[in-house]
Amino acid sequence: MNEGGLKDHLANLVNALANLSPSRNLVSQIILATPEEQATLHHSFPELKVSEFREVLRAMGVVFEDKVRCAQESFAEALAKSIHMVFDWLDDEFIYFDFATDIMYKMNEVRSSLAKLTGSHVDLIPNPYLEWAKLVIEKLSRDYGKDKVMGFMKSLLNKLLRGRDRPPSIIDEVGAEVRANPAELKEICELLASSEGRGENIYVKGSRRHPTGYVWLVHCKYHLDPLLLEEFRSGGYHYYVDYVYKARHEGSLRRALEEVM
């Protein structure tokens, strides 16, 4: 295979992965929206009224009950996980762990490396996460007001990067800054930051000081997932749990906020 052919195949692979993104694919949107009440999902996606379309989703492993969900170990569940990995990888956010040091890292320079290998400008390499973040922020800005939605995300990122690592207090402070009432703040938080019961344990860790530890990917309803949680547990006479939250996709989220404006 000549060099030109290899570049074309690599470009095709990147584009194929990018096309899994919910910003480009209705099926991906529906799968990421689950689990969800069937009435709510039908309201958001009128296409579900087409019986043939529902049959395709059933064949992928989407279960239509009172609450629509992806069956365990189904193709739909695997697709949802793949979308998250593509989000991370093409946004230089692929998270991995050095098992020798027990330290978490993010893979850097993926996009610049792909640009060099394909002979393209880095801005021409698709960034599915950025595309999706812009669509979500635009939609929620129409629903709740641009100032509240953008103010919420900017304030959250700023507080996390300044070392404010406990979201319960952070969310309250963010709410005061954007002047959202408690019910509205809860909705915005679930859509943009964290949704109860949607955390995903991605790593188990421990140390002499903290014998037990976990790393959680904190999902929100639209899967922007800007929070990564490290949970440390210590025993002895005074058992306690310590939490540290870190910002994810911070660069692309800030860029999305700028470009939506």
Cβ(233)–Cβ(210) under 8 Å?
yes
Do 13 and 83 belong to one domain?
A: yes
Cβ(189)–Cβ(222) under 8 Å?
no
Do 9 and 52 belong to one domain?
A: yes
- Outline where the chain has alpha helix (H): 3-18, 26-33, 38-44, 51-60, 75-89, 110-118, 128-144, 146-161, 167-178, 182-192, 250-260
Q: What are phi and psi of 12, to 5 degrees?
A: -65, -40
Do 163 and 50 belong to one domain?
A: no
| Alpha-carbon 15 to chain mean position | 20
Do 102 and 136 belong to one domain?
A: no
- Say what angle helices 26-33 and 75-89 make with each other, to 10 degrees: 100
State residue 238's pLDDT score. Answer: 58
Indicate the residue among 124, 140, 163 that finishes a domain: 124
State residue 112's pLDDT score. Answer: 92
What torsion, rounded to 10 degrees, do the Cα atoms 48, 50, 53, 54 define? Answer: 60
Do 200 and 135 belong to one domain?
A: yes
Do 67 and 141 belong to one domain?
A: no
Domain total of the chain: 2
The span from the CA of 208 to the CA of 234, in Å, is: 9
Do 136 and 104 belong to one domain?
A: no
State residue 45's pLDDT score. Answer: 95
Do 215 and 240 belong to one domain?
A: yes
What are the tokens at 252?
């692309």
Cβ(86)–Cβ(21) under 8 Å?
yes
State residue 196's pLDDT score. Answer: 79
Q: What are phi and psi of 70, to 5 degrees?
A: -95, 130
State residue 231's pLDDT score. Answer: 79
Q: What letter would DSSP give residue 137?
A: H
Residue type at 24? R
| Helix (H), strand (E), coil (C) string for 170-184 | HHHHHHHHHCCCHHH
Do 142 and 110 belong to one domain?
A: no
| Alpha-carbon 148 to chain mean position | 20
Cβ(90)–Cβ(106) under 8 Å?
no
**Region of 6 on the Ramachandran plot (φ > 0 left; ψ -120 to 50 alpha; else beta):** alpha
Question: Mean pLDDT per segment of 10 residues, for the chain of length 261 residues?
Answer: 75 94 96 93 94 96 95 96 94 81 80 91 94 96 92 89 58 79 88 84 69 82 90 65 83 94 75
Indicate the residue among 94, 124, 154 that finishes a domain: 124
The span from the CA of 236 to the CA of 247, in Å, is: 31
State residue 103's pLDDT score. Answer: 74
Indicate the residue among 124, 144, 161 that finishes a domain: 124
The span from the CA of 222 to the CA of 213, in Å, is: 27
Do 219 and 231 belong to one domain?
A: yes
State residue 107's pLDDT score. Answer: 83
State residue 232's pLDDT score. Answer: 75
Do 116 and 152 belong to one domain?
A: no
State residue 161's pLDDT score. Answer: 73
The parent domain of residue 180 ranges over: 128-260
pTM for the whole structure: 0.88
Residue 236: CB atoms within 10 A of its CB come to: 7
Do 165 and 254 belong to one domain?
A: yes
What residues does 229 pair with on adjacent strands? 216, 245
Q: What is the largest CA-CA distance in the chain?
A: 66
